[in-house]
Amino acid sequence: MKKVAVVGVGETKFSGPQEKTEVELFAEAAMEAITESNLKPKDIKALFIGNVLGDFAEGQGMVQSFAAENIGCLYVPANRYEGACASASMAIRDAFIWVASGYYDIVLAGGVERAATMGTGLATRTFAMFSDARYEYPAGITFPAVFAMLTHLYADTYKIPLQKLREQMARVSIQSYKHGSANPRAQFFGKNADMTVEKVLGSFMVSTPLTLHDCCPFSDGAATVVLASEEVAKKLTGKPVYITGTGQSSCGPLGNQSDYLPRIRAREISSQRAYEEAGLKPQDIDLCELHDCFSIASLIATESLGFFDYGTAGEAWEKGEADIGGKIAVNPSGGLKAKGHPIGATGAGQVYEVVKQLRGEVEPERQVEGARLGMTDTLGGDGGTLVNMIFERGW
Amino acid sequence: MEQKLIFKDYNEALKQNKLLGLKCRDCGAITVPPKMVCRQCASPDMEVVELKGSGKIRTFTTVFVASEGREDEIPYTIVMVELDDGPWIMGNLEGIDPKEASMELVGKKVKMGNKVFPGDKYSAGEGARPLFSLV
């Protein structure tokens, strides 16, 4: 296997409904990444693009071919990945494997989505397609409902009074809003920095016990990365960020995960594989962009990733151990909660943030000082797809 | 190799309040909803059995934001029930005020009926789900 580096990243602002098409959004992020890499579109050997619901949002299928042609990547292979909210991470991980194999030397990977454009009703319906259509959807499952049930199960499993757990979860949202408010590309840039526990608990109830401020927004946006082999990377940039370990895992309907819930077993398998490949342990990681689609999801994720013991992540947030300057800096971008969640692009947005952090290029108030090792964690469906990747500063 | 119990037959039985599952001839585990292989040991050597449909609530939520086309149903309570036969299945809970659903539901024993989701333009037809009530 060849060593593989991220040589350039690009991202649109993540936002609510907007007028640019998916092809236009992807092009904006892609040209930023290609330009930053000191490359031209003709240098790209293949495109791997995450896109989940373009068929529903715009009536556009096969967006990857139109996106490739739009930016002048002519006649190259272009593949679309659909793994619900983990789609872009799947695309980047596969791009990594192709470059590591030596088959391609330069690949553009990323994703695009217009989830906000769909509106709450259609977005809620289509997101529920990532639960089991036959055995779960008839009961009226929605994505908030999945994590709402995990919240009650978490409280019961670890014997934490629900009110106390909800207050701990509010701390997750407050921390994310704080960092997102300082991130110009975040959907909630300049907003909600004054969030309080009382405001989170008192906001609109979505699915008990999750309120609006426990839930990430629907978002439009795109993000991309350019991956290159080590020898190519060294010619392109003085600041290569190497991908040193990855893992991916899958599993079935929520009920079939009952031996482990509220733990997400697919995440444990995926992250252990990534740690082994990188030769690292959880305590080595400086920052992690993880899949906080709901506040409870952050607690569950940090425990399965090995940052905190099972049932203790809420306390960690209360003590600031999951913040910049704590044991592990979680979601300095603002995460899905405050940066936004354009589902087909989310994983690429996480990689964008990790790369910028390792280069020391983010706003000072949310920069993790001296960060050398970063990790991403992306979840699709109710645990159906999990992708983890570990990144290392290459200079 | 054909799956021993497919959705169509599972669904028709559920509409008669019969919960069908698969019993593994190799390890004895019960699999429901139906799959090609045993959920515990991955053996395809399973037989169709009728389950009791009784169990206890492990977790729940009351939904206030609906999917497109299901706005008339809110608020409704979803439960995950651990069947006496082992597996967990998802259904709805009736006979309570959904707005009053609380942690006191966890561990409560339930029995099973059914309710049919008539389907929408995406669902390739109808689908019954377990409709539980407290015993």
Cα A212 to Cα B20: distance, rounded to the nearest angstrom: 38
Q: Are residues B34 and B20 in the same domain?
A: yes
Contact (CB<8Å) A125/B69: yes
Task: State the pLDDT confidence band at A131, using cuts at 50, 70 and 90.
Answer: very high
Q: In sequence order, what are the beta bridge partners of A113? A: A221
Task: State the pLDDT confidence band at A56, using cuts at 50, 70 and 90.
Answer: very high
Element (H, E) at B13: helix B7-14
Task: State the pLDDT confidence band at A98, using cuts at 50, 70 and 90.
Answer: very high
- B112-131 residue pLDDT tens: 999 999 999 999 999 999 99
Contact (CB<8Å) A137/B106: no
Tokens encoding A6 = 């991220």
Q: Are residues B64 and B123 in the same domain?
A: yes
Cα A339 to Cα A15: distance, rounded to the nearest angstrom: 8
| Number of compact structural domains in chain B | 2
Contact (CB<8Å) A258/B87: yes
- A310-320 residue pLDDT tens: 999 999 999 99
Cα A395 to Cα A238: distance, rounded to the nearest angstrom: 7
Q: Which residue has the tokens 């689908």?
A: B127
Q: Which residue has the tokens 């398998």?
A: A269
Contact (CB<8Å) A138/B7: no
3-state helix, strand, coil split of chain A in percent (to 5) is 45, 20, 35
**What is the pLDDT, as a whole number, of residue A291?**
98
Would an 8 Å CB–CB cutoff place B41 in contact with chain A?
no
Q: Are residues B37 and B66 in the same domain?
A: no
**Interface test with chain A among B68, B105, B108, by most A beta carbons within 10 Å:** B68
The percentage of chain A sitting over the pLDDT mark of 70, rounded to a whole number, equals 100
10 Å CB burial of residue A375 (0-12, 13-18, 19+) is: buried
Cα A319 to Cα A48: distance, rounded to the nearest angstrom: 40
Q: How many residues does chain B have?
A: 135
Q: Which residue segment(s) compose the domain that B64 sits in?
A: 55-134
Would an 8 Å CB–CB cutoff place B113 in contact with chain A?
no
Contact (CB<8Å) A134/B33: yes
Cα A48 to Cα A69: distance, rounded to the nearest angstrom: 13
In a domain, B78, yes or no: yes
Cα A95 to Cα A45: distance, rounded to the nearest angstrom: 11
Mean pLDDT of chain A: 98
Would an 8 Å CB–CB cutoff place A205 in contact with chain B?
yes
Contact (CB<8Å) A140/B73: yes
Contact (CB<8Å) A136/B64: no
Q: Are residues B28 and B67 in the same domain?
A: no
Q: In sequence order, what are the beta bridge partners of B129? A: B115
Active site residue A85: yes
Averaged pLDDT for residues A242-257: 97
**What is the pLDDT, as a whole number, of residue A336?**
98
CA distances to A28, A61, A89, A98 from A71, in Å: 9, 18, 21, 22
Q: How far is B102 from chain A (nearest CA, A)?
A: 9
Averaged pLDDT for residues A359-369: 98
Strands A373-380 and A287-289, sheet pairing: parallel
Would an 8 Å CB–CB cutoff place B123 in contact with chain A?
yes
From chain A, the residues in CB contact with B129 under 8 A are 135, 138-139
Would an 8 Å CB–CB cutoff place A128 in contact with chain B?
yes
10 Å CB burial of residue B104 (0-12, 13-18, 19+) is: exposed
- Count CB neighbours of A281 within 10 A: 9
Q: Are residues B118 and B59 in the same domain?
A: yes
Active site residue A73: no
DSSP secondary structure letters along A279-341: T--GGG-SEEE---SBHHHHHHHHHHTTSS-TT-HHHHHHTTTTSTTSSSEE-TT-HHHHT--
Q: Are residues B114 and B69 in the same domain?
A: yes
CB B32 within 8 A of CB B21: yes
Averaged pLDDT for residues A137-150: 98
Q: Are residues B64 and B121 in the same domain?
A: yes
**What is the pLDDT, as a whole number, of residue A110?**
98
Cα A302 to Cα B102: distance, rounded to the nearest angstrom: 27
Contact (CB<8Å) A139/B90: yes
In a domain, B67, yes or no: yes
Q: Are residues B33 and B60 in the same domain?
A: no
Q: Are residues B47 and B94 in the same domain?
A: no
Averaged pLDDT for residues A83-109: 98
Q: Are residues B74 and B110 in the same domain?
A: yes
Would an 8 Å CB–CB cutoff place B76 in contact with chain A?
yes
10 Å CB burial of residue A19 (0-12, 13-18, 19+) is: exposed
In a domain, B1, yes or no: no
In a domain, B74, yes or no: yes
CB A176 within 8 A of CB A337: yes
- B51-83 residue pLDDT tens: 999 999 999 999 999 999 999 999 999 999 999
Mean pLDDT of chain B: 97
Say what the alpha-carbon torsion angle A374, A111, A240, A36 is, to the nearest 10 degrees: -130
Q: Are residues B81 and B43 in the same domain?
A: no
Pick the catalytic residue: A179, A213, A291, A341? Answer: A341
Which of A214, A197, A218 is CA-nearest to residue A205? A214
In a domain, B13, yes or no: yes
End-to-end CA distance of chain A: 20
- A269-295 residue pLDDT tens: 999 999 999 999 999 999 999 999 999
Pick the catalytic residue: A73, A85, A251, A293? Answer: A85
In a domain, B29, yes or no: yes
Q: Enumerate residues 6+ apart whose C-beta is below 8 A from A213.
A: A170, A173, A195, A199, A200, A203, A295
Backbone torsion region of residue A221, taken as left when φ is above 0, otherwise alpha when ψ lies between -120 and 50, otherwise beta: left
In a domain, B121, yes or no: yes
Last residue of a domain, one of B51, B70, B86: B51
In a domain, B2, yes or no: no
Q: Are residues B118 and B60 in the same domain?
A: yes
Cα A265 to Cα A254: distance, rounded to the nearest angstrom: 11
Would an 8 Å CB–CB cutoff place A212 in contact with chain B?
no
Instruction: Give the CB-side neighbour count of residue A138, counting CA atoms within 13 A.
Output: 23
Q: How far is B89 from chain A (nearest CA, A)?
A: 6
Would an 8 Å CB–CB cutoff place B78 in contact with chain A?
yes
Pick the residue from chain A with its C-alpha nearest to B79: A149
Q: What is the pTM of this model?
A: 0.98
Sheet arrangement for strand A46-50: A78-81, A46-50, A106-114, A220-229, A4-11, A241-250, A385-393, A373-380, A287-289, A329-330
